[in-house]
């Protein structure tokens, strides 16, 4: 920020800051409308199925030939 009569030229620049600046330059940028939301929905559904499978294996509600819960 600039103040009247100040000799400062703005926020401090650092070497690391210059490297990382591109990572904090796209504030507010979005993909139009729904974007990849359907893909996210599919991935969430698959993840829920995965968790249900491993839970039920561990709970012995799903029994697999080569896996024993003893």
Q: Which residues bind other proteins (CB under 8 A)?
A: 1, 10-14, 17-18, 20-21, 23-37, 70
At closest approach, how far in Å is the CB of 37 from other proteins?
Answer: 5
Residue with tokens 């003893």: 70
Which CB sits closer to other proteins, 23 or 64? 23
The CA distances from residue 15 to 18, 55, 65, 68, in Å, are 5, 48, 58, 56
Q: Please tell me the distance from the alpha carbon of residue 58 to that of residue 60, in angstroms, as a whole number.
A: 5
Question: In the complex, what is the shortest distance from the CB of residue 12 to other proteins, in angstroms, rounded to a whole number?
Answer: 5
Closer to other proteins by Cβ: residue 14 or 52: 14
């Amino acid at each position: 920020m600039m103040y009247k009569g100040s000799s400062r030229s703005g926020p401090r620049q650092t070497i690391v800051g210059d490297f990382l600046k591109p990572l904090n330059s796209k504030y507010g940028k979005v993909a139009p409308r729904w974007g990849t939301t359907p893909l996210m929905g599919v991935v969430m559904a698959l993840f829920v199925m995965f968790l249900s499978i491993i839970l039920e294996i561990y709970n012995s509600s799903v029994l697999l030939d080569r896996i024993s819960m003893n």
